[in-house]
Structure 1
């Protein structure tokens, strides 16, 4: 078996492992991997946003993606013979949602390069365990994966994900090397007022999954003039239990109080605040909205905001749009910021 096929096989086995772990966790199966279960518990303890439900959602989605068919279909569009001399790729990972940097890690390994990963302090447990499993499947991977704390040195190229503030630091520090630097992005949804209740409930998944902390979470909706909010709020009640998560509840109480004291006009259902706002980036527990007069005018506005938008959600089945409830189920070729990570790596 070639090294490339060994790596594919290792990730396929990881996919099976993740799927099996999630199924046993949901079923309270005594034969579950207790070491991994403890790691999930520690990740939740160290980061209050990483609830078991959200960690398992991330693990389950990766389990679904890491199949032989999916991997080979994704990679069939690339010439993987172009990497003659593996380079060390520094990956600076964010910690906003569980395993948010795993796709970069996957790209580097399958491109034939080596990983030098700097984990976020908010998500430092999960990936090392998955790497341990991968090395058990393919021992040759051990020399291709390293973790670093503190200053990153000895790399040939960088993939860094962070905020607009850290992005400026990344550009200063890593700008002389080949790089992909990602900054803040948000996702938006376009509503017409003709959505079914099922579609609106699915939209709630795009809003509330990971408490809205991901760049693929919908932070703003565009609605037609005269939009009836009643069906929207009725659908959102399916997610009402989110207010029982204390960190989310604290954000809700704070943001609502600030808006009320500032005499801002808001809509509120006791766990989600809606505020009319031009900005895309809403705080936790808040969803911004803007009215549009025509689809043509809306498209012009979205075009001007293209470099700030990760996903556009709608039921219009337009090229580049994501269906309701699908933002946190990206495919292997759904690259962050629209930058083809694999192509970047193969051209180094």
Structure 2
């Protein structure tokens, strides 16, 4: 048998909420306060330092010590406070322009400056730096990045202001860059900024755009062409001079050899003459005859000599040339008609 459910009693508007005892309220307030304190202590007593960061811990507003990467404990604020800085991170600032991704925006007030010969030049640079001393970085300068930017601009203007434009945009770029870096490092040390300058590189040192830039570009091209021709001439000189020196040395050695050869020949002739003269002094007649005969052999090597008696008063005339020709003809004909030799001995 089903029974009808009892209807819900209607609320009584005159009913009062239960009253809490004074001790319970006090305990509840103390518990809430304790929870708040614990949450506050937990949120302000522990802090984390990332890998490329370091933290400066200040006790009652005064620098106390620094911590490296990891989870650390400190007294809750306001007893101790922590300032985390990217001390292990290498940072960069640009002078003369700003770069956002691939977008580059020139900053003319930083780039434009005057050279020592009162010309205008535009210089863009990149400074690489990092924090070397956290205490100096936090307490000695109010805006470290702006201070570094101003110090870099002052160093660049100081160096370029003492150089000529032609030197600054051509051969002097590297030297000017080194001088600016040294002055910037000196400024950081003088003001104890806690900033370490790692490097400074110029992107461009050039005249402002327009006709001036075109004129200086033409001057630069002409100077480069001049240097190229000088280098080519020096290369040709280095190639030709050793060859010429070698040829000259060869000529000198050949002349020296010829000189020694002639001296030796002359000394040989002198020795030969002295030997002949010694023999001549012993027997002049025999030596004279021998010399005459040797001379005749040299000047008449193929001559035929006929000896005749020239003691008579008559002139001897002999057709010597015709006799020689007839004798030569007879000898050749006899040689042609002579029989072949026979075997055996011929008896007379």
Normalising by structure 1, we get a TM-score of: 0.18
Q: Which has the higher contact order (CA 8 A, sep 6+)?
A: 1
Give the TM-score normalised by structure 2.
0.18
Bigger CA radius of gyration: 2
